[in-house]
Amino acid sequence: MSATLGAPARTTTLKLVGLFTAAASVAKPRAVRPRATLLWFVGVTLALHLFALAALDAPWPGLRDPEHALRLTRLRARTAEHPARPVVVVVGTSRACMGVAPGAWEAARPGTAADPLLFNFSTVGAGPIQQLVTVRRLFADGARPAVVLLEYWPPVLRQDGRYDEQDRIDRRLRYDDLPVVRGYFSDPARAERLMLETRANPIYANRDRWTVRAIPTWLAPHLRADITWRGLDPWGYLPGPDVKPHDAATRQTFLDHYRADFRARFDGFAIHLNSDRALREAAAVARANGAQVGFLFLPESSEVRGWYTAEAEAAGRAHLAALARDLGAPVIDARQWVADNLLADGHHLSRVGANEFTPRLGAAVCAAFFAKERP
């Protein structure tokens, strides 16, 4: 017996057949190819690393050493604002970073066209070798100061054992710093290997610097890599500890913290040959580029001065005198210029101290380098 489908049933049947036919005709999805995925991942990663490597040493060198780059940018801005004034850059340690506040000089200076423009180009953690690196970079990057004022401080002139300055100069090194590495480091091969390693994996090696610049709130303040340039003002000044002159308890805590370290530094103290060479070469580089050179001994409290052994005191005095004599360089000896309570920890000026000290420094710079030029 045969059955004949009605029109509605035939229509439904044809639709179902059509759906099954269409489904069967759809091509099966391609199987995921692990090899292609892996090759794409490797290719993209390699491209990102090559881009980062090129950016670190070419268009954006500040990605490698933000502290230097920020100061350079601000020095250029201040020079552009005051093109007629002679520029004086202070190059030193964290003591200079936190002790020289050019904005205070700007507020107090006489106001003549001959007033020097002070700029703080010091580096946290520096010693004489880092000061040489900074001076070389300054002129290589196009700065043309009239005066380079080099900080002189005996405690950083040791280069033996744990005082080896090489251990404080690492990923910030540029290729044009290699002559310093090879001429002054106790283990230049290790430093060069580190330079190669950080360039072979630039994203990982600089992750802390880049993270803090891109998303600073991700990290707790004490874990942020920008501690050495966070708060830098337009004149290169990095505000130090905000210890008020009347806060004797906090100041005593700082003194107690540093006492043992200073006494260890002065035990068997000797000025290393490389420290002497670095200061002399920094002066030579500055003079070869047309700048005058001087030395600045920043304030120390009576407590810190008392931690020097007789031998360390004598060695420092004799060495500074020899540098001044041999190089014909003026010395601004500000060691005892301020009261103890203006030195937050005995060797770093407080914020109040820096603002009181710097106008006197500006006047001393005028007398040492520009007395004949003033009206």
Report the pLDDT value the prediction gives residue 5, as an integer from 0 to 100: 43
Contact 149, 89 (CB under 8 A): yes
- Going by C-alpha positions, the residue among 121, 116, 120 that lies closest to residue 84 is 116
| Domain total of the chain | 1
Beta strands in the chain (DSSP E): 87-91, 117-120, 147-151, 292-297, 331-333
Q: Classify residue 256: in a domain, yes or no.
A: yes
Condensed to tens digits (0 to 9), the pLDDT of residues 88-98 reads 999 999 999 99
The answer to the question of residue 2 being in a domain is no
Give the model's pLDDT for residue 295: 98
Is residue 177 situated within a structural domain? no
Q: Is the dihedral of CA 281, 286, 292, 295 positive or negative?
A: negative
**Secondary structure of the chain: what % helix, strand, coil (to 5)?**
60, 5, 35
Please give the backbone phi and psi of residue 326, each rounded to the nearest 5 degrees, phi first: -65, -35
216 occurs within a structural domain: no
In a 10 Å sphere around its CB, with 0-12 CB exposed, 13-18 middle and 19+ buried, how is residue 219 labelled? middle
Residue 289 structure tokens: 């580029």
Q: Is residue 59 part of a domain?
A: no
Which residue type is seen at 21? T
One-letter amino acid for residue 73 of the chain: T
pLDDT on residue 195? 77
Residue 12 lies in a domain: no
Q: Is residue 176 part of a domain?
A: no
Q: What is the CATH number of the domain that holds 257?
A: 3.40.50.1110
Token pair 């007629």 is at which residue? 84
Structural domain that includes position 243: 64-165+233-369
Whether 349 is covered by a domain: the verdict is yes
Determine the pLDDT at residue 84.
Answer: 93
What's residue 193's pLDDT?
86
Residues of the chain with pLDDT under 50: 1-5, 9-10, 12-17, 19-20, 22-27, 45, 49, 51-52, 59-60, 374-375
For residues 195 and 177, give the distance between their C-alpha atoms in angstroms, rounded to a whole number.
11
For residue 202, what pLDDT is reported?
62
pLDDT digits (tens, 9 = 90+) for 323-360: 999 999 999 999 999 999 999 999 999 999 999 999 99
DSSP conformation letters of 327-340: HT--EEE-TTSS-G
- Token look-up 């360089």 returns 329
